[in-house]
Amino acid sequence: MKAAQFLGEDKIKLVETGIPALTSEDDVIVKVSCCGLCGSDKRLFHNGAGHIPGHEIAGVVAHAGANATIKPGTRVIIYIPIFCGECKYCAAGETNRCQHIQGLVGWQRDGGYAEYVRVPARNVIPIPDDLTDSDGVLLLDTVGTAAHAIRLAKRSLASAAVGDKVLVIGCGPLGLGTVLTLKAFGFTRIYAADPSEERLSVAKEFGAEEYVADPESLAGEFAIVIEASGSAPGRKTAIYAVEPGGAVVILGESNDPFVIQPTPTLRRKDFSMIRSFYFDMNEVAENIELYRSNQRSFQRLVSKIVPFEQLEETFVEFCQGKTIKPFVRL
**Residues 6+ positions from 259 with CB-CB distance below 8 Å:** 232
Average pLDDT over residues 163-177: 95
Burial of 220 (0-12, 13-18, 19+ CB in 10 A): buried
DSSP 48-63: --SS----SEEEEEEE
pLDDT of residue 217: 64
Per-residue pLDDT tens digits for 2-17: 999 999 999 999 999 9
Per-residue pLDDT tens digits for 83-126: 999 999 999 999 999 999 999 999 999 999 999 999 999 999 99
Say whether both 47 and 95 belong to one domain: yes
pLDDT of residue 215: 66
Say whether both 152 and 84 belong to one domain: no
Say whether both 17 and 130 belong to one domain: yes
In 104-199 the beta strands, taken as DSSP E runs, fall at: 116-120, 124-126, 165-169, 189-193
* Residues spanned by the domain of 152: 144-275
Q: Among residues of the chain, what percentage have pLDDT more than 90?
A: 93
Number of domains the chain contains: 2
Q: What is the CATH number of the domain that holds 47?
A: 3.90.180.10
Average pLDDT over residues 315-319: 96
Average pLDDT over residues 45-62: 97
Say whether both 20 and 129 belong to one domain: yes
Does a structural domain hold residue 286?
A: no
User: Of 56, 49, 45, 58, nearest to 127 (Cα)?
Assistant: 58
